[in-house]
Amino acid sequence: MFISSAFAQTAPAATGGDMQSSLMSMLPLVLMFVVLYFVMIRPQMKKQKEHRTMIDALAKGDEIVTAGGLLGKVAKMGDSHLGLEIANGVEVQIQRSAVVQVLPKGSIK
């Protein structure tokens, strides 16, 4: 008597225009990912590849700089470690991945 009947509303029929609007709403997200890839991801991958190539090309006698700031000459080579001579008779072991830069010959005196 005081309560009226509730009827469910029917959903509107899907049309081709809805598909186009959903694609247009996803376009900014796709564009953002493409820009992110070319601005951040791709340059980082290129830098990692160059670093890996530099580490693989290390040879005994190369003068290097480590991530900690040590300068020295490669005295021993291992699979994952290097023997770095930082002074006459002073040698330390470092990981290959700690090498940041290879210096030109004769840089360290």
Question: What residue ranges define each of the domains in the chain, with the CATH number in brackets?
Answer: 17-57 (no CATH), 60-109 (2.30.30)
pLDDT reported for residue 80 = 92
Predicted local confidence at residue 12, as pLDDT: 63
Rounded to two decimals, the pTM is 0.68
40: DSSP letter: I
β-strand partners of 104: none
pLDDT of residue 40: 94
The confidence score (pLDDT) of residue 53 equals 96
Token digits for 35? 């820009």
pLDDT at residue 46, rounded to an integer: 97
Mean per-residue pLDDT pooled into runs of 10, the chain (109 residues): 72 64 88 94 96 95 95 94 95 96 90
